[in-house]
Structure 1
Amino acid sequence: MHSLIEHRIPGNGLHAAKDLLARILQAREPYTMHGDITGLFDWLGDDGTEWCQEVERHRLRGSLLMSDKRMMPRPQTEEVRFLPDITAGASVGVTFGDVAFAVSLDPPHVSRLDGPGVATLLRNAFWALWENARETPRARSISKVDHTLLPERETRSSWNIPEEVLSDIRSTQRTTFLMNIGAIRHSYRQLVDLAPALDIRFSVKTNPDPRVLSALQEEGCGFEATSWHEVELARLAGASPEKVIFSAPVQELEDLRLAHESGVSVFVVDSVSQIDRIAKAAPDARCLVRIRTSGDHYAFINLSTKFGIPQAELIPMLHAVERAGLVPHGIAFNVGGQNEVATAWRDGIRQAHALAAECRLHGFPIEMIDIGGGFPIPVHPLVPRLEQIAPTINAELSGLHYLAEPGRLIAGDAGKLVAPVVSRAVRDGRTWLYVNASIFGVLQMMDRHRFHFPITTDRVDLDAEEYVISSLSCDGRDVISDSTILPKGVAEGNLLFIHFVGAYSAPVFNIGYGGVRPARVQYLD
């Protein structure tokens, strides 16, 4: 009889639940979580209800068991109990409130299933059930998940690497960063098609590569800049000043002055200090006041602790803008980086609309709402797709000028890092693979935010193995992944593919570190 492990979640349970999945499954015994776990429902979809409704509609029995209740309750305090049994061929049962999931993982070729590896298998099992529920018009149960397909399901990338490029990398054994300009264009066009009412301003800081910016300018995209340097990069790419917004809530006087002199007229503020600087540098500027919304605490990178004012302070801040001789023009918000809740932007727009109505009563006719960025890339299967997010945004837009500042959504999938394995070693029973890449260079998102990019390999084997993926640098902290499940037998000369690194990575941070050579950069069209 297993002992019962209890964990009480402080605050909202979304991030805690994600982080705890690995530890829960490592425990190999019943595990109960208490606390505010409403965010965990959001992780499953639109408040968790769409997922449950679809499954109930198609009555997926056998693989997924549900109680007689037709809807999952959403109290502020709920109990979630995990009953992991992760021996090969067994199933994993999970109970969310009154809804019980029994998912057969059946990984016959995986001898060691613990930590992030099992969390990945569980996520993919849920994903398979969800896809089946949406696409199958009649009752159908899933008895197992084919884990040989996990790399494709896990990356969901829109493009493949040409064979001639792979052959060259194998022959040279050079770590290579691939930037697909065609994928940049594809992502932008998809966003325009799905959300045509949004005025798109690509976040230059995400990937300031001139080829990326030029391609987007040719597509008709505008730009969001946070410094004079980024304004200049947008101008060099061919952007007109009216297609550039200066959104940094804090910036030096000289950058503000140069941006204004170049023709940029819309600036974002969230403090009296910034208002005073803009009044000196850009005396006729139009200002958007940045507020905090309720959605960014679900984001992988929370921005409200650093920027944005409480909504109750909006009217006084607009008065300060007016007193400084500037034009109160609109409201801005940002739901954080890599927000994986499909309704976060909808909720932010609703809050901004309510505030805009209040502003009009105080004599401030709000003309523009900037919904920011934060659109996620599919680094794991439960990340909502743009096809799910866009309709929730479109349904709220009415009568105003709406800006969006996507970055990672457009650039992320366009970049892949291909790293030949330099060395393989077994340390304390774990297999380590060493590559010529670093979290302090091209993969800096993995260091600063512990962002886990999907990793696959060219090695083909029905058996699987857990690996530690490490930089060859002499820095003990420079470990790319503590646990990655890949085919068995990956060794020197095999290629590792790190996906979705087109944002906040190479070629921007393509530097040498601790014996690591900068990656070779190659562009694809």
Structure 2
Amino acid sequence: MSSDRIRRFLAGQLPPTPFLVVDTDVVTERVREFAVELPHSLLFYAVKANPEPAVLGAVLAAGGGFDVASPAEITACLAEGAKPEQLSYGNPIKKPGDIAFAFDRGVRSFTTDTGADLEQLARHAPGAAVTVRMVVDAPASATPFGRKFGAEPADAVRLLRRAAELGLEPAGVGFHVGSQQPDPAAWDAGIAAAAKVFAEVPFRRLNIGGGFGITYRAPVPSLATYATAVRDALDAHFPAGAPELALEPGRAIVGRAGLIRSEVVLVAQRGGHRWVYLDIGRYNGLAETENEAIPYRLEAGDGERGPVVIAGPTCDGDDVLYQHTSYELPLALKAGDTVDILDAGAYTASYSSVSFNGIEPLRTYCLG
């Protein structure tokens, strides 16, 4: 359920729908929970999940740093008072000008996974610390990365050695098991691969990425369970002691902190199915419903319920949220009624389009 503070907000005078409301106290609690479960690790919050200034401020106040992927994210974090050393430029895909921008503002930690990017780092961020991202075969996640990022372990060894030749610091290796990863054992393969690289080229930092799941409609393991699996894998593959641990959670920090309130625009019968159209869809906040990957929990009043197809408001045929995933909403639901979308703090407002169909980006209100 959403926080009491969000409930009090929803009981007052409300802005027009749709909107996202975020309780930054939940963000603070989650950062501190990671510190308890994985002590002595470096937490770099994935800014892309939700870049609201109040969210960034809450992460910073709780002792976290930031995984940034662009000059704009760097600027946003520094504006909230972050120090450059609290930023890790985690995107392996970056223009030379972006590297120079980051370096000029004091960022000294970068991720890479190709020789071409490494050469650009040596040219525009001389002496910087680099982490080589590896590709791993992890169990299926809700939104896997596929082969877009990551070097094979043998190539990671080569890149670390080349980094040293170029005057960069070969700081470590990293990997990501995919967003909303439900299997705590998923990190074992990446940690095992990292240990093999370590045997060839010792390094000081191991970045295990994000991917820690949160509960939507189906339960996922607790953070304590994920952390136990990570610690067990580190003990198994680094028996003499593991390198410094870095994390890049995004969804796990801010997902549970947010709620979207939407309004029913239309209810219609089509082809023997009841269709419910909301004023929010894939283009103004619910991009993660593509392929019905993220099944959000919905609240929509009381009364007898029946099956529905749920769609967004635009004139795009792809703007259908749930057609194959089973959802039931009140039979009495009508235009003007509200539907609350729970655990929606991550990858909603940050994914919404600028003005598709003339719809403005999802408005966000932070409580803190």
Q: Same fold (TM over 0.5)?
A: yes
Equivalent residue, structure 2, for 1:350: 192
Equivalent residue, structure 2, for 1:367: 204
- Distance of 2:153 and 2:4 partners within structure 1: 42
Judge conservation of contact 1:422–1:436 (CA < 8 Å) in 2: yes
**Are 1:391 and 2:232 an aligned pair?**
no
The alpha-carbon deviation at position 474 of structure 1 amounts to 2.1
- Distance of 2:173 and 2:337 partners within structure 1: 50
**Residue 424 of structure 1, aligned match among 236, 260, 267:** 267
User: Structure 2: which amino acid aligns with 1:307?
Assistant: F
- Distance of 1:271 and 1:299 partners within structure 2: 25
Offset from partner CA, 1:298-343 (integer Å, 9 cap, x none): 2222224011111122222222212222121211111111111111
Alignment of 1:80-479 (within 5 A): 161-163=6-8, 165-166=10-11, 168-169=13-14, 174-295=17-138, 297-359=139-201, 365-395=202-232, 396=234, 398-447=241-290, 450-461=292-303, 463-479=304-320
Judge conservation of contact 1:455–1:496 (CA < 8 Å) in 2: no
Judge conservation of contact 2:297–2:343 (CA < 8 Å) in 1: no
- Distance of 1:316 and 1:212 partners within structure 2: 38
User: Structure 2: which amino acid aligns with 1:443?
Assistant: L
User: Structure 1: which amino acid aligns with 2:90?
Assistant: S
- Distance of 2:278 and 2:47 partners within structure 1: 29
- Distance of 2:360 and 2:149 partners within structure 1: 36
User: Structure 2: which amino acid aligns with 1:394?
Assistant: R
The alpha-carbon deviation at position 252 of structure 1 amounts to 0.6
- Distance of 1:336 and 1:521 partners within structure 2: 26
- The 3-state SS of whatever aligns with 2:230 is helix
- Distance of 2:295 and 2:114 partners within structure 1: 35
Pick closer, same or farther for the CA change 1:422–1:166 going to 2, 3 Å.
farther
Judge conservation of contact 2:6–2:22 (CA < 8 Å) in 1: no
Superposed CA RMSD: 2.2
- The 3-state SS of whatever aligns with 2:263 is strand
Judge conservation of contact 1:438–1:513 (CA < 8 Å) in 2: no
User: Structure 2: which amino acid aligns with 1:162?
Assistant: R
User: Structure 2: which amino acid aligns with 1:466?
Assistant: P
Offset from partner CA, 1:141-160 (integer Å, 9 cap, x none): xxxxxxxxxxxxxxx65667
- The 3-state SS of whatever aligns with 1:248 is coil
Judge conservation of contact 1:173–1:420 (CA < 8 Å) in 2: no
Judge conservation of contact 2:352–2:362 (CA < 8 Å) in 1: no
Judge conservation of contact 1:419–1:435 (CA < 8 Å) in 2: yes
Pick closer, same or farther for the CA change 1:175–1:315 going to 2, 3 Å.
closer
Pick closer, same or farther for the CA change 1:239–1:515 going to 2, 3 Å.
closer
Q: Which has the higher mean CA deviation after the structures are superposed, 312-321 or 514-523?
A: 514-523
- Distance of 2:331 and 2:21 partners within structure 1: 26
Offset from partner CA, 1:405-450 (integer Å, 9 cap, x none): 0011111112211112222222222112222112112112223x53
- The 3-state SS of whatever aligns with 1:460 is coil
- Distance of 1:426 and 1:310 partners within structure 2: 51
Structure 1: gaps of 5 or more residues: 1-155, 360-364
Judge conservation of contact 1:176–1:519 (CA < 8 Å) in 2: yes
- Distance of 2:313 and 2:221 partners within structure 1: 35
Q: Which has the higher mean CA deviation after the structures are superposed, 503-512 or 185-194?
A: 503-512
User: Structure 2: which amino acid aligns with 1:378?
Assistant: T
Equivalent residue, structure 1, for 2:238: none
Structure 2: gaps of 5 or more residues: 236-240
- Distance of 1:517 and 1:496 partners within structure 2: 19
Judge conservation of contact 1:204–1:224 (CA < 8 Å) in 2: yes
- Distance of 1:229 and 1:469 partners within structure 2: 34
Judge conservation of contact 1:474–1:515 (CA < 8 Å) in 2: no
Pick closer, same or farther for the CA change 1:302–1:164 going to 2, 3 Å.
closer
The alpha-carbon deviation at position 167 of structure 1 amounts to 5.1
- The 3-state SS of whatever aligns with 1:299 is coil
Judge conservation of contact 1:256–1:278 (CA < 8 Å) in 2: yes
- TM-score scaled to structure 1, two decimals? 0.64
Percent identical among aligned pairs is: 28
Judge conservation of contact 2:47–2:67 (CA < 8 Å) in 1: yes
The alpha-carbon deviation at position 346 of structure 1 amounts to 3.4
User: Structure 1: which amino acid aligns with 2:210?
Assistant: G
Judge conservation of contact 1:434–1:469 (CA < 8 Å) in 2: yes
Pick closer, same or farther for the CA change 1:209–1:510 going to 2, 3 Å.
farther
Pick closer, same or farther for the CA change 1:470–1:494 going to 2, 3 Å.
same
- TM-score scaled to structure 2, two decimals? 0.90
